Copies of this chain bind each other. A is one copy, B any other.
Amino acid sequence: MAKAPTVEDVARAAGVSRQTVSNVLNSPDIVRGPTRERVQRAIVELGYRPHAAARRLRTRRSSTIGVRLDPYAGGISGVVLDRFVHALTERASERGMRVLLYAARTPAEEIDRIGDLVDGGEIDAVVLTGTSHEDTRTTWLQERDVPFVSFGRPWRSDDDGAPAHPWADVDGAAGTRAATKHLLDQAGPRIAFLGWPEGSGTGDDRARGWSEAMSDAGHTGPRWHTEDSVGLARELVGSVLADDPVDGVVCVSDSLAIGAHLAATALGRPGLPVVGFDNTPAAEALGISSVEQLPEQVAAGVLDLLMGPTGNVVLQREAGQDAAYVLVEPRLVVRGAE
């Protein structure tokens, strides 16, 4: 295999200078038509491909986004993140960006990793997943002026005005609201909500959608809480359902929905309408309705926030500038549970 051609080789072949070749690549519009074509022909003929490292060294841009791959949780979810990363990779590639993974077990370790990658010039920006209250990572990133966007809201602040940093997320409340309306419409007025213990931003947000839809319709229903586990949900629903034969259950997750479904089936009510959240393969397999997040849209939103609507360079946020956000409406997938 011969040595890869450089910009110099292309220049010689096209009878122009290095810089002109570089211009054809990076700002074609400032090169005169005939010259541009000549250079482009030479590029194709020689099979020239720019050397990323050299470009990065000179421009001090890596055109790469860092994403942490969360450790396998063992839970039922994961697909959402999976689809998100995939969509992010695709969309980024369309904008001339790459996605680099890194692994970390703790926030502190994650900060270390990001530091290495940023200082080493390996990444220009970071996409955080799974933000929590008072996230140490976000403050660190802000101090260091590292551009970033989170998949998930900075729950800490009250909803008043500008968020602490740019984020993209799925509108959980809208999802449960749609699910609740659907059940009210199809099943009956008494719809329960099966949620996580209070205090998680995501969980509370989804609970809100249910409670708003219920009071809008002028109905009421019980609200149950448990950890995110099929078994626990099954036990809980099994014991309360006997006394309170509700018309349907909106759940904060597919795990809980599956538990509820199994409990209902065991109690002789296999047809009890249950709606989960995340539309995981497990819910699909069991024919349980679910609210589907659209991580592809979140990914597009993340890139818009990082690079502007059309740019192909990561933007440095101005100091006083308000952080923007993107909120994606999820989609209710209706299935005839069996």
Contacts and interface: CB of A to CB of B under 8 A. Distances in A.
Interface string A92-108: 01000011111100000
Contact of A76 (B75, B77, B281): B281
Interface stretch (A46-54, A133-141, A238-246): A46-54
A322 interface: no
> What is the oligomeric copy number?
2
B86 A49 contact: no
Contacts of A51: 57, 120-121
Contact of A52 (B77, B99, B120): B120
Residue of A1, A50, A121 with most partner-chain B CB within 10 A:
A121
A285 B49 CA distance: 49
A69 B85 CA distance: 8
A98 B99 CA distance: 11
Interface residues of A, number: 54
A116 interface: yes
A286 B52 CA distance: 49
A169 interface: no
A56 interface: yes
Given A78-B79, A285-B255, A89 B72 contact: no
14 contacts: A49-B115, A49-B116, A50-B120, A51-B121, A52-B53, A53-B53, A53-B121, A57-B57, A64-B100, A69-B85, A74-B281, A93-B113, A280-B282, A282-B282
Interface of A: 1, 4, 47, 49-54, 56-57, 62, 64, 69-72, 74-79, 82-83, 85-86, 89-90, 93, 98-103, 113, 115-116, 119-122, 144-145, 230, 255, 258, 280-282, 284-286
